[in-house]
Amino acid sequence: MDLKEQVLNTLSSAPYIGAREIAERHSLTVEELNHAYKAIQTSEECQKRLLTSINRDYFETVREYFGKELYTVIFFVGLGCPYRCPFCPSVTIEKDGYRKLAKFRKGPGDRKLEYRDFEKIFADIEQMQKKGIIVEVKISGGLEPYTDPETVNWILELASRQNVDSTIFTNGVLLRDPKNREIALKSDKLRISLGTVSEEAYADEYFGEHPRNKRSNSLGDLQKTIRQLVQDRNDSGAATAIGMNTVVGEFNFHELEQVVLDAHDFGVDYIAIKGDYFKQKDDEWFDKVETATAAISGHTRDGKIGDMRVILTGSQERSSFLNSSLQGKCLPIDQAMRQMFIDPFGQCTPVHCWAFPVQEKEQERHTTSLNEHTGLQKIIEKTNDFPLIDYSKLNPFELIISLESERQRQDLAFGVERDCNPYISPHNVSNPDSLNFRSFCNC
Ligand code: SF4
């Protein structure tokens, strides 16, 4: 096996390993390693192999966020949520089964962000764009964005004016209102979470059984809403890509195949299937995922059913490095250089675990307040004062950003040349399963 092949195999299975360790494992000098990295970087075949490997999420994220300088601003605009998902970071399940939802709270001197605040944020985004950074916005998690449709509308209009790509993550319930659907179709992408075909499982999973947790929607209602949204999109000629997001777990292993077939029937453009990343998974869990996905594969051709793409995130695969419980701590600034969360009261933070509204763990939230004197750039710099975060608290995207930032620092110190990153290639190879897999809330 030639040198390039040996190094490529090691990187494919452990993409975060630094140059020193690679050199030691393969008995290479710095010059030989630079040569091997350059050969991998400039080979279209090698790039394709990385982007279709088990650890494809890593390589894809590095290409986008370090290669193209992508930056994501995530607006957590929701003020409430009709659901009470057991896997939601904003939900606490009490002893009697009551599912309590945390809400964002106003800090001293805080006020809810107004239109002029969003104009200011987008002025800061424009400055970033002028420096060549590609900025995208996500309207996501925390709580359900459509509990504040006016703010969703402001963000989408400002994003569109500035050519900023926009994605909405929603549970879809409030899209039953035609005005909300009209707003939704101003986005570039919209992803609705749904993981079951059974009314009973829908009620149990998303609302719970406690009488104080009101079941305000039925599965039938939501299915009707999704069909109507697709219809509205087709009638209006809007370019919004509509997808479904399905979290896999014990409650839906047995019906995953039908969830995918239903999604196709609704007319959505894709379905993304992913595991609850923070749940401990054993071999039995992976066996069930493999059985379910094998059944789905029976309906797909080139990863599609008709025109609908079926996307299985790499993090669900048994031997993905994301399932190897890596130990370590992350510098918050590494995250702040790639993403920033902004809550309804202008509190900003670079990691998802500090972005959600919390109940009794309030002290664990580290944020900086956006105001007249503190714009996005200042906020990014201020994260240098935040404490280190344990890897176990990061979502897959954040873990990749942290590992790659550290890998690049170590490589430079070891003598790897700046233009020899094996993952940042001039070849425009793309992963057909590319999902932009990150999503912060499981909803
Ligand atoms: S996961 Fe999303 S849909 Fe579920 S309770 Fe949390 S915010 Fe609501």
Q: Give 421 or 279, the one with higher predicted confidence.
A: 421
Q: Which amino acid is at 203?
A: A
Share of the chain above pLDDT 90, in %: 77
Closest C-alpha among 303, 359, 398, 325 to residue 99: 359
Per-residue H/E/C for 278-319 = CCCCCHHHHHHHHHHHHHHHCCCECCEECCEEEEECHHHCCC
What long-range pairs does 416-422 form, CB within 8 A, spacing at least 24? 416/19, 416/30, 416/33, 416/34, 416/37, 417/34, 420/34, 420/37, 420/38, 420/41, 421/37, 421/41, 421/62, 421/66, 422/7, 422/8, 422/11, 422/36, 422/37, 422/40, 422/41, 422/46
Q: Kindly report, residue by residue over 16-65, the tens digit of the pLDDT.
A: 999 999 999 999 999 999 999 999 999 999 999 999 898 988 999 999 99
Mean pLDDT of 341-364: 84
Q: Is the pLDDT of residue 274 over 90?
A: no
Task: Quote the crossing angle between the two packed helices 19-26 and 30-42, to the nearest 10°.
Answer: 100
Q: What is the CA radius of gyration of the chain?
A: 22
Mean pLDDT of 309-327: 85
Name all residues whose Cβ lies below 6 A of ligand 1: 81, 83-85, 88, 90-91, 141, 143-144, 171, 441-443
Q: Of all protein residues, whose CA lies closest to atom 6 belonging to ligand 1?
A: 88
Written as six digits, the tokens of 97 are 């089964």
Q: How far apart are CA 230 and CA 241, in angstroms?
A: 9
Mean pLDDT of 320-339: 94
pLDDT of residue 439: 46
Q: Kindly report, residue by residue over 109-133, the tens digit of the pLDDT.
A: 788 999 999 999 999 999 999 999 9
Is residue 355 included in any domain, yes or no? Answer: no
Is residue 237 included in any domain, yes or no? Answer: yes
Residue 43 sits in the same domain as residue 125: no
Is residue 165 included in any domain, yes or no? Answer: yes
How many whole angstroms from 131 Cα to the centroid of ligand 1?
A: 36
Tell me if 313 sits within 8 A of 276, measured CB to CB: no
Residue 36 sits in the same domain as residue 84: no
How many whole angstroms from 7 Cα to the centroid of ligand 1?
A: 42
How many whole angstroms from 336 Cα to the centroid of ligand 1?
A: 24
pLDDT of residue 256: 95
Residue 271 sits in the same domain as residue 301: yes
Q: Best mutation site among 76, 79, 88 for ligand 1, i.e. most ligand atoms within 8 A of its Cβ?
A: 88
Tell me if 73 sits within 8 A of 138, measured CB to CB: yes
Per-residue H/E/C for 341-381 = EECCCCEEECCHHHCCCCCCCHHHCCCEECECCECHHHHHH
| Angle made by CA atoms 188, 191, 192, in degrees to the nearest 5 | 145
Q: How far apart are CA 93 and CA 132, in angstroms?
A: 45
Phi/psi at 46 (nearest 5 deg)?
Answer: -65, -40
Is residue 106 included in any domain, yes or no? Answer: yes
Q: Look up residue 272 and give its DSSP letter.
A: E
- CATH number, residue 90: 3.20.20.70
Q: Best mutation site among 90, 174, 194 for ligand 1, i.e. most ligand atoms within 8 A of its Cβ?
A: 90
pLDDT of residue 1: 67
| Angle made by CA atoms 6, 398, 114, in degrees to the nearest 5 | 150
Closest C-alpha among 338, 353, 437, 415 to residue 390: 353
- Of the residues 276, 295, 324, which one is the last residue of a structural domain? 324
Q: How far apart are CA 335 and CA 350, in angstroms?
A: 6
Is residue 201 included in any domain, yes or no? Answer: yes
Per-residue H/E/C for 85-146 = CCCCCCEEECCCCCEEECCCCCCCCCCCCCHHHHHHHHHHHHHHHHCCCEEEEEECCCCCHH
| Angle made by CA atoms 381, 383, 387, in degrees to the nearest 5 | 150
pLDDT of residue 145: 97
Residue 164 sits in the same domain as residue 282: yes
Tell me if 368 sits within 8 A of 348, measured CB to CB: yes
| Mean pLDDT over each residue of the chain, to the nearest integer | 91
Q: Of all protein residues, whose CA lies closest to atom 2 belonging to ligand 1?
A: 443
- Under DSSP, is residue 72 helix (H, G, I), strand (E, B) or coil? strand
Local confidence band at 227 (pLDDT 50, 70, 90 cut-offs): very high
| Angle made by CA atoms 353, 59, 242, in degrees to the nearest 5 | 65
Is residue 286 included in any domain, yes or no? Answer: yes
Share of the chain above pLDDT 70, in %: 95
Residue 281 sits in the same domain as residue 133: yes
Residue 242 sits in the same domain as residue 313: yes
Residue 97 sits in the same domain as residue 207: yes
Is residue 359 included in any domain, yes or no? Answer: no
Mean pLDDT of 311-338: 89
How many whole angstroms from 332 Cα to the centroid of ligand 1?
A: 25
Query: Which of 207-216, 253-262, 424-433 has the lowest average pLDDT?
Result: 424-433
Residue 152 sits in the same domain as residue 254: yes
Residue 132 sits in the same domain as residue 193: yes
Residue 60 sits in the same domain as residue 159: no
Task: Quote the crossing angle between the two packed helices 283-297 and 256-266, to the nearest 10°.
Answer: 40
pLDDT of residue 440: 44
Residue 44 sits in the same domain as residue 160: no
- Of the residues 274, 289, 324, which one is the last residue of a structural domain? 324
Is residue 333 included in any domain, yes or no? Answer: no
Sign of the alpha-carbon torsion through 264, 266, 272, 276: negative
Residue 291 sits in the same domain as residue 166: yes
Q: Best mutation site among 170, 171, 174 for ligand 1, i.e. most ligand atoms within 8 A of its Cβ?
A: 171
CA 72 to chain CA centroid, Å, is: 10
Q: Is the pLDDT of residue 436 over 50?
A: no
Sign of the alpha-carbon torsion through 436, 140, 107, 124: positive
- Of the residues 289, 324, 359, which one is the last residue of a structural domain? 324
Atom of ligand 1 lying closest to residue 193 CA: 3
pLDDT of residue 362: 54
Q: Is the pLDDT of residue 259 over 50?
A: yes
| Angle made by CA atoms 221, 172, 147, in degrees to the nearest 5 | 115
Number of structural domains in the chain: 2
Atom of ligand 1 lying closest to residue 82 CA: 8
| Full domain range(s) for residue 200 | 76-324
pLDDT of residue 142: 85
Q: How far apart are CA 54 and CA 318, in angstroms?
A: 9
